[in-house]
Structure 1
């Protein structure tokens, strides 16, 4: 079957304590004259994260948290109004602001789901346990996602992230087992 990756960006920031913060959305643009902003969600559970009376951690220079006072949908985006953001100028100052969560606040995953940032750096081995390389990135695609592999001899190749080719992902040992057809990475 198809392996699934939650739609979560690879970007993150690191706090002073070394804790990664992960973006869950960002302000695309101001909307209207009363301080509303258009927010694009970056995660599958965005609708649960952008609710009224919720405080959002932000990377904005002016404030670290913003409280949502109203929310409605605007196509695939969220139209939000924050406490204290009452003019178009206030809203425009927030354009580009990212909303962040701590790594441990991510949603629980199904057994066939992994976070992109957790896969990067995993060792890749064949069915006999022989090292092939390491995951350097994940290419997220509409039809299927692909593991970007840096081979032991320094070449780069992509492996479709599907159950037939990737029968095992062991996050405890940070090891991904692949069953590749002849010539796929040669």
Structure 2
């Protein structure tokens, strides 16, 4: 899940398209568990940078890798079409409590990322999800991006109070992004002279 510029809200999805004619619509969920949609008091929809609007969840279900939502006040396909591309938010206070040692991704955005010896890799700037795991986007001081699979064997410690994440990346991964080899110059091919062509006939 990602933090939203609207203070106190966290983005948990994005509206993809309407589904059917009764106001149901598909969203791409950023939440680790879709059960979140039945545990929050209200969802908020936001159009760009406008103020989030509250809605009560009538129903939700999983469908082909997406979540189908039915909200009170979105009663037909035309209204569902109007909210295409909007962001789905929840209030921070409505997020479920985590187990000890767990963290929401939005809480880690902006944290310094370091190696176990204290070497600074960069700042955690973003993330994206794949079928296998989350991948973190770390921005180095030089402006390069490092993509790190966010799996337990590579993430050693998260200290939110100090805003520091300690990682142990697989061997060679940082070199790929931070010390790329310069492209090799192509050798120029010698073109045969006109005389050689003539002699070769």
TM-score, with length taken from structure 1: 0.67
Q: Is the 8 A contact 1:24 1:46 kept in 2?
A: no
Aligned length in residues: 173
CA gap 1:73/1:57 in 2 versus in 1, 3 angstroms: same
Match of 2:126 in 1: 137
Match of 2:106 in 1: 117
**Which of structures 1 and 2 has the larger relative contact order (alpha carbons within 8 angstroms, sep 6+)?**
1
The answer on 1:179 being equivalent to 2:179 is no
Q: Is the 8 A contact 2:37 2:57 kept in 1?
A: no
Give the whole-Å Cα distance in 2 for the aligned partners of 1:182 and 1:44: 28
Match of 2:197 in 1: none
Structure whose residues are more often helix by fraction: 2
167-176 or 82-91, larger mean C-alpha shift: 82-91
Match of 2:94 in 1: 105
Larger Rg over CA atoms: 2
Match of 1:56 in 2: 43
Match of 2:4 among 9, 12, 22: 12
Q: Secondary structure at the match of 2:155?
A: coil
Match of 1:35 in 2: 23
Shift of 1:171: 1.5
Q: Is the 8 A contact 2:138 2:147 kept in 1?
A: yes
Give the whole-Å Cα distance in 1 for the aligned partners of 2:28 and 2:128: 20
Structure 2: give runs of 5+ residues left out of the alignment: 176-201
Q: Is the 8 A contact 1:166 1:178 kept in 2?
A: yes
